[in-house]
Every structure is written in C-alpha cells, then in structure tokens.
Structure 1
Amino acid sequence: MDTAEIRRRFIAHFEERGHQVVPSASLLLDDPNLLFVNAGMVPFKPYFLGQETPKYSRAVSVQKCVRTLDIEEVGKTTRHGTFFQMNGNFSFGDYFKEGAIEHAWELVTGPVGEGGYGFDESKLYASVYEDDDEAYGFWKKVAGLPDSHIIRLGKKDNYWSMGVPGPGGPCSEILIDRGPEYGAEGDWEAGDRYLEFWNLVFMQDDLSAVRSKEDFDIRGPLPRKNIDTGMGLERVAFLLQGKNNMYEIDEMFPVIEKASALSGRRYGADHDDDVRFRVVADHIRSGMMLISDGVTPGNEARGYVLRRLLRRAVRSMRLLGVEDRVLPELFPVSRDKMKLSYPELESQWERISTVAYAEEDAFRATLKAGTTIFDLAANDAKQSGQTRLSGSKAFALHDTYGFPIDLTLEMASEQGLSVDEEGFRRLMTEQRDRAKADAKAKKGKHTEAGAYRDVSDSLGEPVQFTGYHEIVSEGTVRGILAGTGIARSAREGDEIELVLDRTPFYAEGGGQLADHGLIELANGATVQVLDVQSPISGLIVHQAKVLTGEVTVGEHAQAVVDIERRKSISRAHTATHMVHKAFREALGETATQAGSENAPGRFRFDFSATGAVPASAMADVEARVNDLVLADLAVHAEVMTQEEARRSGAMALFGEKYGDEVRVVSVGDWARELCGGTHAGRSGQLGVIKLLGESSIGSGVRRVEALVGGDAYRFLAREHVLVAQLSEALKVRPEQLPERVNDIVEKLRTAEKEIERVRVAQLLAAAGQLAANPTDVFGVNFVGHRADGAGAGDVRKLALDIRGRMPAGKPSVVAIIGSTNGKPAVVVAVNDEARAWGVSANALVKVAATALGGSGGGKDDVAQGGGADVTNADQALRDVEHEVGRAVTSGRS
C-alpha cells in the first residue's frame, strides 16, 4: 500500500466519523519555542492549553514535522530522520478513551477492501499506563485483546506531557510483534521486535510542576478531557509495505536508487556507504519540504538548518564518488513521489528547484575556497609541530565557509591530524547561547512560556487588538511582568512588560516593526512603550518603562500610539506589497517574498531569484510602483475564508500562520495579499518610493532596500544637491556626469598602471647590482636584501630576477625581505647547484620567518613566508646567511 494511500485512508476513516479535516500547518508555525513543527499536535496546542476555543469538537490531520536535534545521527541508524508525517485524530472535550481506542482499532484491523489497513490482530499488542485500569478494560472490551496482549508500562513509556505545567495524561500505544528475528519475546524496551506505531494520549490531568518526564505534580483533573493521537505515517508504511525501515518505503527509496545509479555503488553492500545513502534520501526530502514552506538557506536559525541539510546531502554524494552537481538529479525524484500527497510541490517547483540548485552551486564554490583555507590551517599546524587542528580553526571553517564538522574531521585525518572537537563544540555552544540570548531579548525578558501562559489564563480570552481602526484606546491593566516574574505593581524607573485587555499597539509580526507610544493610567502614572510582542497566541505584551507614578493591575488606562511612527511604518508596509507585486510582474512568479522588514520610512524586501536583478528591471519596478502611487489606489482589507482568499487571487506568504479566516489587504485591484499588518489608506499617501539597490543575502535570495515618503524625498533632495555640486565642479551638465566620471576613472587607472610599472622597474633595476656583488658563504654566492615598501608579489619577482642573474654553475642563494604597512614578507630562492650542496629554500624561509615572528614554507627551490615584526628583518637575513653556512658545512662533512 503506497504511503499516499495510507494517508488518504486515515483521513477518510476519521472524516466518515465526524472529524473536521484540518490541512497540515506549515512547518514554520509561529511558536517562539519551536524552530519547526515537531509533532502532530503542535498546531492544536492553543486548544489543549485553553488559549483558544476550538472551532470543532473533533479533528483529523496529517501534519508535516521536522526534528533536527539528532541530525548528526541521521543515516547511522535506520531510526533517525528529520522530516516525517504524523497522522493524528483529536477530540476536544468530545469522545475519550473508549472512542479513541475504538476508532484506532477499526482502522488498524479493518479489511483492506473496506478502507482499513488489514493488520493481523494476532500480532498486535496494546500498552497502557501502569495504573490505568480504565484503558486496560477498554482494550479488552473494544478490541477483544487477551490479557497477554495488554502490557502495563510506567511513566517513561506511557505518560505524556508537554514538558511544562499544563495538560498531560496517560497514554496507550499500539504495538506489532515483528517476530523473533527482531528480538526476544517479552522485551518491550528494545523497540525493534514490539514496534509501537500509534500512540493514543488521554489528556485528563492538569500538571502543576514538571521537573522531568517522570517527575511531576498533578494539580487535579482537566475541566475538559481531550484526545491527541499520533500515528507515524512512515512507520506504518514500512510495516504495510513489508520493508525493514522507513528508508525503504516508496517515498524515500527511489532517491537511494537514483543515488546508487549516479555513484555506481550498491545500497546494502557497505555500511559507510549505506549511511551516506540514507543521509541523501532523508536530507533531500526534508530540504525540499522546508523550501516548499518558505525556508531559504542562510546562516541563522531555520535557514541554517536547511543549509546544513542540503550541504550534507551534497557532501554525502561526494563521499560516494559523485563530483558533479547532484541536486538536479535527486530533487525531481523526491518531488515525483511526494507530490501525490503535496501537489503544491509541482506548482511551486520552479521556485523550490531554483533555491536548492543555487545552494548547491554556492556550496561547490565554498568547498573549493574552504579546502584552500583548510590546507593552510593544516600546513600551519604541521609546521608548528602540532598534530591537532584547533577548535577555533574548525569552527571558522564551519561558521564562515559552511564546512560540516565531519568534512573537517575527514580531511584532517587524511593529513594525519586530529581535531579539537571539544573546543569546536564549546564554540558552537557559545554561538547557540548568543542566539538564544538575542531571541530572548527580542521576544521579551520572560521567555519561559509559563509566565506568559499564567497571565493569558488570567485574562480568560485573547487580548483585543483595536489598532486597525484606532490609535487611542481605553483598556485595563491585566498583567505586569517584571524582572522577578509576575508582579502586582511597578514604580517609576521600572522596566516591565505590561498586558492590557485591549490595545491599539501593533505587536511586531509579518515583517512589520512594533508600535511605540504611551500608556497613561487613571491614577496619573505614565508608561513609555518601547516594543510590543506576542510571545504566545492571543497575548499582546507591551515592553515598557514606567516614566512616572505607580502602575497596578486592575487600573484603567488609555493607550496612545505614536501616530507619526505608525503612519510611516504603514506606508512602508503598503510599499512592500506593491514592490512584491511589481517584481513578480518583472521577473516572473518565482520572485516570491522570502522575508521583509517594514520600518519607519524604509523597508527591506527579500525574494527568490537565480541571480542579480538587472538595472533595467530595477528601474522598471521603481517606475511601475510610483505610477501606481500617483494613481492613488484605495487600500482596503477584508476578512474571508482561506478558500475565498485563494479564489480572489490573494498571495499567501510562506512561513506565516493563517487561521480558517484570513485578512486580505488589496491595493486597488492590483496587489492582493494575506496580511495582518497595518497599511496606508491610499497608495497616494506613500508620496514616492525609492529603491536604493539590491544584493545577495544567500544562495537564491536577493534583498532590495528602499525608502518611502518623506525619507525617500529627503534622499532624492540630497542626491540632487550632490549632482549639482559635481556638475559645477566638473563643468558639465547633469546628464553628462556619468561619461565625465568614467573618463576621469579611466585616466586614474591608466596613471596607476604607469606608476606601478615605474615602481617595479625601479625595484628590479637594483637586481643587477645585487647579483653582481654577492657575499661568499663557504663557496655559496649569497644575496640578502631588504626591499622596504615592496609587497609579497614584488619580493618574489625581485628574488627570482636576482637568482636568474647570478653566475651560472655556482651555488647561489637569494633572500629578500620586503614590507608594507609594517608587515614583512620574505622570499628565498635557491638554484640547482645550491640544492645539490644540501641547501633548501623551504628550510631557509622558516628560519627567516621565525625571526620575523611568523611562518613560511614552500619548495626546495623557492619558498615564501611572512611575519609580524619587520624590525627584525636585518637579523632574519643574518640568520639565513648563518643557516646557509651551516647547511653547506654539515653537508660536506
């Protein structure tokens, strides 16, 4: 049974039983505690936590999930993977244990011809929580399982919680006995013989403290009992398809087959190769699904995960012996299997493939540059007598050049070096800690969700945002969070996070920066709002400072938004929509927004593109949007269903969270997008839009920066003054400036070339005199010379020129030390006769470089190095001369 068919049957089974079919949420759900959706129940967390009221009493979904905690283990076993699909059915205060067991058993054991999976009942077992007699009884009553097929397990296996205070409860798993070849009879812990494939969570307890998975307090029963189940789609697929693991199912194995054909190596023949094949199969699929949901490769957070996945896949193919581009061969194979369940992969293919293939091209260039850096680092380590590459070098290769640590380890091993992995891991941890600290500072001082959740629970309903229609609003202080946690009051000078029951302040989101302003309390206290965030769904938090008086919970307040800032940001947001639409017209539908920031008077707009945007296209986009500014189009927002929005042609942005009802913002009948931000009333209010330029911020992603309104006008005014000044200085009309400036630049380049030619000629003019007056060192003609002001290239030219002028047939050694900006460079050149006497340029340059406080190396005939202390140049030349004498005399003896 194909994976897509298993998925279809699951949805159909529960839809027939009154469940609302809920499409998979994006992998990029807006949750401050999650990088990606990592479990099927994540989109329903607000319902389980009581933050939102469910729109239905029962639901079914097949949720896309990504887990990356053990990415380094992918491929080493057949258990680890990053992307997976979780089938789940959910009950919100509707049916409970008996109903969940009944629905699951009917599907698992139902005949294939009647829409079931047809599992052999005699091989199935159920596990229950150790004291859950109720679930035990239902398995006997509903499924007819004998006592020998119902197992009681402890908290570790059969009690579920989110890991924080909140809902939890016992769970019950359906397991299948795969036979004695997979383990011993009754060994429930091994996980290979008795394989769990469906977990039914009975959410019935309110946990007040969760210290660990097995150590928590139960405050009491939940007011409403819920059901959350998870059936691993890939796991059921390999069971029903008669395979040993998920890598062999119909959605994944074709990628392994293609990789095998490209590499000429067979899956199953060698363990190391098998690991690489599995890495390729997993990362290709995961990378494709992440790009589909709007992730682009980058150096931070989600973008960095995607970059790692794609680069690990490419690297694994290289280790399998394939040096050519591989993603154009492998991605379409995965697409053709996954599109059966996710048709958007085909409709978005041009964008997905563009991003992926550009990242591979960038990585191939990185490999070339990074390998050179690695070689230099390995050389330095060897020359200094070390056998280990430092953790800082490995981290630099990883952080700057995108080198996976396993690549550094392998290349180091090939050079006979080890790597300071502990130092590397420490630096990685420090980087992660800095990123967490940045996120914490951005999201607020209380990133522990419990504090926010307690405030949200006390509200009873979501904070009402009134800012679409007003910038002054009456409300009540409902929560205060200070440095020590939740507080009842705050005094002058305190920095706090303030929660009102209703607010006109826009919380940062969708690329739009937060509002600023004041909150004035009825008791005379004044609070300055510095930032606004929404750390959990339904809660708006004002990060603020108490300017005067005392703020207390329950006090009446008036919230006043800084209107000029709001208007300026709103103009920028509307301009972003217009520029997005104009770029799609100019470059095609693949020019999809990949990120944005709408700030007062300016915005930046990131979008997918295969290369630099031509200047003509930039000019066309700027002209197009400014024509529509002059047209003074009405900007209006409508709330409609997602289906109505799609039919209207509204553009949805990847990674944004949309509910069943969405807000559609339209600029006339031209640009239409799903958007929760604030906007100008008419396009004419934007005044003017000025694009400042575009640049690359990653493979396949370009960034445009622009100004709007008064900021754009002031920029253009300054440009006009500058042009007038240049026209006056160069005595030409403004339209002639480009040609005049080009003439001046060309003349300067010609002059610089002539100056360089004269300088080199002067430098080399001394070569003849130096070659004619060498020092005799035990029969060797030796020239040691300082060439102050000469760089490394000039020093090399001079050394080789002098060596070429030395008398033929006699041993000759030339050592030249130059310097620029106080940094010395040394080159040693030795002729064949001197090498025959045992003199090596490689050995001599190390002597000189040591005296200069640096290092060097090369071949026996020519070697070069550098240092940090040019004041030792004369001593370095004396040391080289001495070493020549030592080499000659020791060679003769």
Structure 2
Amino acid sequence: MKQYGVNELREMFLKFFETKGHLRLPSFSLIPQNDASLLLINSGMAPMKPFFTGEQEPPRHRVTTCQKCIRTGDIENIGHTARHGTYFEMLGNFSFGDYFKKEAIHWAWEFLTSPEWVGLDPNRLYPSVFAGNETTPADDEAFRIWNEEIGIPAERIFKFGKEDNFWEHGSGPCGPCSEIYYDRGEKYGCGKPGCTVGCDCDRYMEVWNVVFSQFDNDGENHYTELKQKNIDTGMGLERLAVVCQDVDSLFDVDTVMNITNKVTEITGASYGQSREKDVSLRVITDHIRSATFMICDGVLPSNEGRGYVLRRLLRRAARHGKLLGVNDPFLYTVCDTVIQENEGHYPELRERQAYITKIIRVEEENFAKTIDGGMRIFDDMLAGHKEKGESVFSGADAFKLYDTYGFPIDLTIEMVEEAGMTVDQAGFKALMEEQRVRARKAREALGDLGWAGIEFGKDMPATQFVGYTQTEAQGQILALVAEEELRDEVGTGAEAIVVLDQTPFYAEMGGQIADHGVIKTDSALFEVHDVQKNKGGKYMHTGVVKAGALKVGDTVTASIDVERRQALARAHSATHLLQRALEIVLGDHVNQAGSLVEPDFLRFDFTHFSAMTPEELGKVSELVNQSVLHGYPVVTNEMSLDEAKKTGAKALFGEKYGDTVRVVDMGGYSVEFCGGTHLDNTAKVGVFHINSEFSVASGVRRIEATTGLKSLEVMNRNQERLFEAAAILKTKPGELREKAEQTMEELRQMRHLVEKYKAKEAAGETERFLLGGHSVGELKVLTATLPDADANKLRQMGDLLRDKQPNVVAVLSSVNGEKITFLAVCGKEAVQKGVKAGDIIKHVTAICGGKGGGKPDSAMGGGSNVLKLDDALAAVDDFVAGKLGL
C-alpha cells in the first residue's frame, strides 16, 4: 500500500467522487451560517442541513466536500491521548434524494480497496451495520449488500446497536449507518482475548461512516419512511492518513508532524523524549492548527462564544510553551508552517497570513502580561494549600486568579490537576454568580451596559460618528467596561471597552470591518482592535490599555489608523464598481448577497445561477479597472428615502432603511445606498485584481479580489517570477514565450529519442529473458522481477515477449515500496492450449494478498505482501503444468 500524504488523500477522495457525478464544493466557513444550534462547524454535513431538510435546493443532488471542522468537547484531553484533536477535516460524499445504499457502499469499497485509489488490503477491512431494536428494524439491506454484492463473509460483518450504528439528533431525518473498520495489526491491540471490531483499543480504527437517512423521527421514537432518502458520508481525513501512513496517531501524519517539527525547532523539546513534553508538543500543534483556521474564517479572541474557544486554545498553547521553556511569544511564528502544509487546498490561508499572525501575536502578548504575574501568585496559593495538607484548591483562590489575573478557570483546573489536586469548582461558580449579580445591578443603574454593551441607559447619549470627515477627534469617556463589569478606571494591560460621546472610528457594519487606531490622553494609551455599535447607538471601542490609566469623564483624542482606513475605502469603493460591472456583464438579476471589506481585500457574494466563464470574469475585471481609470468623483449625500429612490440608487442586501439614507454616487456609473467609508475618487482604488470566483450556496456565487497595495504585491510577485523564469531559460522577459515553446519542442524531441533508446534496450532485454526461459511441456515459461520498472515498461516488455515467441508464458513483476505490480502475457500457442494470462494473474496476485485480471494474452494485477513475491513467481510453473495436464 502506498503511503499517501494528507494532501494527496484529500484530492484523491474529491476526484474519485467527481468521477461519480458529484459536484465538488469548497469547504464552508467554520462559522455556522444561519444555524444558532452550533458554535462552530463540527461535521461535514452540518453546513448542508438545509439541503437535507429540503429547505433549500442543493446546487446538485450529488455533492462532495472536504469540510474544516472544530470539536471542543474534549479540549482538556488534547495532548494526553492520541485520539483527541480539536481541528480536523471531514471528507464527505452526499446524496440529496439521488442514490442510496447500494451505490454508497460499492463506492466506499471501491475507493478504499481499488489499486487505482487508496488500495487498502480488503482482508483488513470490516464493515458494521445496525442490528435493530424494538422501535427500528435491523438494516438487513446494508448487510445483504456487504455480504452478497461486495462478498464480505457474514462472520466479518458486525452488527451493533443504536449507540454505534444509528444516527439521529432529536426529531427529524435520521437513519442507520454503516461503518468500515481497518485492522491496524496486533501491535496496536490491547492483547485481551476476544479483541475485535468494537474494542476500545486502537487496533480496529473506523475509517468510513455512511449514514442512510431514511426515516423521520417524530421526537417520540416513532419512525416513518422518508420520501426523499439521503446519503451522508463522513470520513476523517487524518484518520485515513493514519492508516495509509501506518503511524501511531493523528499527531504523526505528515502535515501535522511537520508542524510539530517546527515547534520542536523553536522549543528544543524532542518528540518522544518524555510523556510530559509529548503532551505539550501535541497541545501546541493541535491548538495552533485550530487557531489558524478559526482566525482565517473570521473568529477573533473574546470572552464569549466561539471567540472564547479561540482564546482558550491560544492561552492553553502559550502556557504549554512556557512549560517547554519558551517565555516569549512564539505561536505566531508557527503559523507559516501551518499555512505551508495546507495552502494548496486552502489558499485563503496564505492570503490572510499577515492578519492571522497579527491576531495570534497580540493575544500571546496580552496573555503574557497577565500570566507572568499570575503564575507567581498561583504558585504561592498552591504551596499554601499543600502546606496545610489540603487536596482541594479553593474556589476563592481560583476566582481571584480569574478576576484579577485573567486566568480562565479551565487553565487553573489543568494546572491544579497536574499538581495532584482538584479545584473547588462549586465555590468558584458561586463567586462568579455573586459577581454577575453585582454587575447586573450596576447595569440596571445604567440601563444594562455589559461586556457586550447591548443596551445603555436612556440618559446616556448616543455616540456621534464624525469619521466621514475626520480621522482624529476629541471625545469624552462615557463608560468603561472590563471583565464584564463597569469600571471607573482601567489600567495598563487591561482588556476593555471604551464608550465615547463622539468618535472618528467606523464600527463594523455592512460587511466593512472596523477601524483600528488609538485613544489617548497625556498619560494613557489605549489600542483599539475592534469597534461595534450597539442598539442604542453607542460605539464600543474594544482594545487594550498599553500605558497609563483611563477614567470615566476623561477627555481623550481618538485617532484612527489612516493608512488602514484608506485601504478599507479602496476595497469598499471597489465593491460598488464590481456590483455595477456584474450587472452589466451578467444581467439585472445580480444582487449583493453579502460582503466582507478588509484593507485592500474584498469578498463579494452575489446572486447568479452558474459559474462565471473566464471571458465573463475578464470583462468584469476590465470594466472595474476602466472605472478606476475614468477617475469618477465619489460624492455622498444624505437625503430622504423617497428622494433616494428617485435617483435610482440601489438598495442592497435586504437592508431596512430609515427615513434618511446615505447615497454614494460614483460619477453616475454606480449609485447605491451605503453607510460605509469611501474614497473621494475611483482612481484611488488602484489596480483591481480578481483572485477567485466560486459557489458558496445554491444560486449564490462569491468573488474575492484585491485592490491597491495588495494588487501591486501580486503584480510585483508575478513580475519577479517572470524575470526568474526568463533568467532560468536564459532569455529576455519579452521573448519568454518563444523560448518556452522552443524548449518544449526540444524536450519533445529528446523524449522521442529516449523512447527509441528504451525500445532498443527493451528489445535487448527481451532476447536475454527468452534465453533464460525453460520448457514446461511445449511451452516456454519465464518469470522475472524488473527493478524500478513502472507499469508502462512492464507492458512494453510483455508485448515484445508475446509477439516474439508464440509459445511463451511470461510473468513479470516490479516492486515499489510495499506495492507489487504483476504483468502476465501468453503467446498465441499458449492461449490455444488453454493457458490464459488472466487466470495466471489471479493466481499469483492472490498469493501476495492482491487481485487482478485481464485478457487471455495480457493481464495485470497488484499485491501488497512483498515477502510472498518469490512464492508467487515460483508457482507459475505448477500452474502452467496443471493447465496442460502434466
């Protein structure tokens, strides 16, 4: 079996199902869309629930994906076991009312066992089916397909109960599932008598799970057949790689181990050196993978929801770095390795590398400020408990670490458990509740101003936004929030929200992300990393106090990062030009369906029924850049909604508008309702460059593009590559095409000559082989192993032998790693005497644990047991003699 890499297996799976008529979709974001039941996407089918329920028409009724997933239920076990991980990729093939059990099972078996695909040994694979219970019948159909059609003996098909082989989640579509287990061998087993499929040890690993969605559960365990039956297949990519690479765990597969190697290089800790260091290396490797993908998809560290999951992962990883002796921020330096291992399938990682790295570095630096002082306090607390002979770390101490030093409770629990003690979690929760009560009372005094800042007191004025015309403004601090409490003052190192009476900072809205910058006094400096606007119109500036202290009532100077604002404006103005160009090229049915505006980067979702052709994309790009070169003035006006409609301004994205709206007019070419920040002239957009266009949902397409400096970076990089290619080919850039064509022609001629020499060499080898043959009856039999020969060379040699000697029977073989390739040929006289190449190849491949077949005069096959190769070749004489009746 070839040891395929993770990236090879991913592409192989998707290509396989494309050959079966499936539409390949890109991975959906880790952030669930319109699904409040999930914090993060945790399975391949989760983003496609609307297709399964019939709420939404799928882009095709056969779909295949490789979905990014995060599961956080076992974070505390990460590193301590070889099984648990937070980030993983789920390979899936899905049918929405199309094919069902027969095709799903046959294709699973073909992909896993065929030499053209993964090529696993079929004798090491064991399927399982649903055994049935008092409410739901056994899945006899799946059993019959495995037994009668695939040919698995009944004793090798395992029947399990509802917990293992039935998928359901409350009421709604559900059904039995069939899993495929791979026997990894005795070295991974528990050694107990009767160890088999279903044992908790690591010997039998589940590599495939196909769910047959055929019932509807009314919520009271009453099941009725669904009219539209669906297929939901899930296979962990890393699990499959563990099997194919024959490694101990998901931490040992190539793309993950390469990340660990980078961590090892930074920390100096060797994998396998000790259990404690292995735990830390695994924690760091797993968590930095997860964090990189989460941030790329838009998750930011925070104290709630998915943002807290990210913060928890990064802080846990940073602490394990300290356990390995690394006291300075280092996680951000591992990002490049994570990206390098995954950018082939997820190019957005490289595009957003600077952003991802910055977020991780800021989080590491902020945590370092809290943990250094807090660790000394923790050590003193721990020592105090031990001196008293106590085995329980008090809830009061855990709360103080959380409230004063920013230690997440799970981090305290982990450190205490490492010291052989437990935390009084009930006491901690009681103190947390007391704090919440105090905070609630404080919020009531101001109208419920909390960490999220949902509502403010009626007497507090809304923040006045002056950022359309000003990049710096004086303001007064109306409120401060830190650690979910109102504060009169916040000091150095504190993460806080600052509310001002007026601000130049644009709050995240309409797809445009917030401004960054600083808020300062003569003695204090606050870095702003995010700005949100609440329902009461207050702008909440989130960030970190870098120096001094801020107090409620302080007069401050708020200054935005002007270069970043300009880059945002370039991308935002470009979305308006793009919208108009799409309408011209594709038609008036095009409507905006979502957007993201970042510095010199834009993501634009729009309604359209099919993929855009290269010609259409070229025309759209041309129109946008023409609009840039025209230098249209960008004019913004506030007017009544009725007046705005009369101008023909386009309202986007199903927005609800008030009586007064803001209209952005770009020289009459594009006129739209918009509350974002823009350039004053389209010429300042710079070069507009489309990176990609793809589907994100049925009837919705997405364009990702760059403007300004990012486009120039792409152009400069392409120009550098052009000059490099010209230098390699020793020509001028303007003559590169002609030189490339000339070089390709020379290569073609050289290959032709090489093939001629190979043919002569093969003819000479054929003569030598024939001299080494021996007689079995009236036939001449020969066997040989050709080192490093590929399938083409075997065929070429075989054809020459067969055509040269009518009475020849030849079996040729070659070995590549653990995979054997066989070729058998029979001359005309041999075939006439009943000796057929297809029969011979079946016989010899079976000896080596493989299979094959073909025509009477030529057949090929494969095997996996190299140790049996000599036995297989030696068996040819007896097989031929038997056919001749000798």
Q: TM-score range by the shorter chain?
A: 0.5 to 0.7
Question: Match of 1:682?
Answer: 663
For residue 205 of structure 2, give the secondary structure of its aligned residue in structure 1.
strand
Q: Deviations over 1:528-585 (max 9, x none)?
A: xxxxxxxxxxxxxxxxxxxxxxxxxxxxxxxxxxxxxxxxxxxx9999459759879x
- CA apart distance, 1:138: 1.0
Change in CA separation of 1:301 and 1:146 when aligned onto 2, cut-off 3 Å: same
- CA apart distance, 1:329: 3.4
Aligned partner (choices 189, 198, 203) of residue 199 of structure 2: 189
Matches within 5 A, 1:180-329: 180-183=186-189, 184-209=194-219, 217-329=221-333
CA distance in 2, matches of 1:670, 1:578: 20
Matches within 5 A, 1:459-538: none
Question: Which has the higher mean CA deviation after the structures are superposed, 261-270 or 247-256?
Answer: 261-270
Q: Does 1:89 align with 2:93?
A: yes
Question: Match of 2:596?
Answer: 651
Question: Match of 1:159?
Answer: 166
- CA apart distance, 1:224: 0.8
Question: Match of 1:366?
Answer: 370
- CA apart distance, 1:53: 3.0
For residue 219 of structure 2, give the secondary structure of its aligned residue in structure 1.
strand
- CA apart distance, 1:227: 0.4
Contact 1:126 1:151 in 2 (8 A): yes
Q: Structure 2: any 5+ residue segments left out of the alignment?
A: 132-137, 441-451, 456-504, 518-526, 549-555, 610-619, 621-626, 637-649, 666-671, 679-886
Contact 2:507 2:531 in 1 (8 A): no
Contact 1:292 1:348 in 2 (8 A): yes
CA distance in 1, matches of 2:389, 2:160: 57
Letter in 2 for 1:682: V
Letter in 2 for 1:117: V
Letter in 2 for 1:202: F
Contact 1:634 1:681 in 2 (8 A): no
Change in CA separation of 1:581 and 1:222 when aligned onto 2, cut-off 3 Å: same
Letter in 2 for 1:28: I
Q: Deviations over 1:790-819 (max 9, x none)?
A: xxxxxxxxxxxxxxxxxxxxxxxxxxxxxx
Letter in 1 for 2:186: P
Contact 1:128 1:135 in 2 (8 A): yes
Q: Deviations over 1:168-199 (max 9, x none)?
A: 10100011111222335435232522211110
Question: Match of 2:730?
Answer: none
Change in CA separation of 1:296 and 1:412 when aligned onto 2, cut-off 3 Å: same
Question: Match of 1:172?
Answer: 178
Letter in 2 for 1:144: G
- CA apart distance, 1:371: 2.9
Contact 2:332 2:358 in 1 (8 A): no
TM-score normalised over the length of structure 1: 0.52
Change in CA separation of 1:411 and 1:237 when aligned onto 2, cut-off 3 Å: closer
Q: Does 1:15 align with 2:21?
A: no
Letter in 2 for 1:421: D
Aligned partner (choices 32, 38, 50) of residue 29 of structure 1: 32
How many residues align structurally?
540
Q: Deviations over 1:752-787 (max 9, x none)?
A: xxxxxxxxxxxxxxxxxxxxxxxxxxxxxxxxxxxx
Contact 1:110 1:117 in 2 (8 A): yes
CA distance in 1, matches of 2:110, 2:383: 66
Q: Deviations over 1:637-669 (max 9, x none)?
A: 99989999999996368999979759x9x9998
CA distance in 1, matches of 2:185, 2:585: 48
Question: Match of 1:59?
Answer: 63
CA distance in 2, matches of 1:80, 1:198: 18
For residue 230 of structure 1, give the secondary structure of its aligned residue in structure 2.
strand
Letter in 1 for 2:124: K
Aligned partner (choices 423, 426, 430) of residue 423 of structure 1: 426
Change in CA separation of 1:639 and 1:336 when aligned onto 2, cut-off 3 Å: same
Question: Match of 1:490?
Answer: none
Letter in 2 for 1:18: G
% same residue: 37
Contact 1:96 1:227 in 2 (8 A): yes
CA distance in 2, matches of 1:688, 1:200: 48
- CA apart distance, 1:378: 6.0
Letter in 1 for 2:242: F
Matches within 5 A, 1:336-735: 336-374=340-378, 389-398=393-402, 401-405=405-409, 408=412, 418=421, 420-423=423-426, 426=429, 576=509, 580=513, 596-597=532-533, 599=535, 617=560, 651=596, 677-678=655-656, 680=661, 682-683=663-664
CA distance in 1, matches of 2:431, 2:114: 50
Change in CA separation of 1:206 and 1:405 when aligned onto 2, cut-off 3 Å: same
Q: Structure 1: any 5+ residue segments left out of the alignment?
A: 211-216, 438-510, 515-571, 585-590, 692-893
Question: Match of 2:156?
Answer: 149
- CA apart distance, 1:142: 3.6
Q: Deviations over 1:281-300 (max 9, x none)?
A: 10010111111111111111
Contact 1:159 1:169 in 2 (8 A): yes
Aligned partner (choices 128, 132, 142) of residue 139 of structure 2: 132
For residue 254 of structure 2, give the secondary structure of its aligned residue in structure 1.
coil
Change in CA separation of 1:206 and 1:343 when aligned onto 2, cut-off 3 Å: same
CA distance in 2, matches of 1:105, 1:609: 59
Contact 1:652 1:673 in 2 (8 A): no
- CA apart distance, 1:43: 0.8
RMSD, aligned α-carbons: 5.3
TM-score normalised over the length of structure 2: 0.52
CA distance in 1, matches of 2:586, 2:239: 32
CA distance in 2, matches of 1:189, 1:643: 57
Q: Deviations over 1:337-375 (max 9, x none)?
A: 122221111110000000001111111111123235436
Q: Deviations over 1:227-264 (max 9, x none)?
A: 00001000001111121110001121122223333333
For residue 17 of structure 1, give the secondary structure of its aligned residue in structure 2.
coil
Q: Deviations over 1:477-512 (max 9, x none)?
A: xxxxxxxxxxxxxxxxxxxxxxxxxxxxxxxxxx99
Letter in 2 for 1:225: K
CA distance in 2, matches of 1:174, 1:675: 45
Contact 2:515 2:560 in 1 (8 A): no
Letter in 2 for 1:149: R
Matches within 5 A, 1:754-793: none
- CA apart distance, 1:201: 0.3
Contact 1:580 1:592 in 2 (8 A): no
- CA apart distance, 1:386: 7.5
Contact 2:95 2:232 in 1 (8 A): yes
For residue 173 of structure 2, give the secondary structure of its aligned residue in structure 1.
strand
Q: Deviations over 1:124-178 (max 9, x none)?
A: 11101112110011113442222232111111111111x2100110100011111
Question: Match of 2:76?
Answer: 72
- CA apart distance, 1:408: 3.8
Letter in 2 for 1:306: L
Matches within 5 A, 1:777-856: none
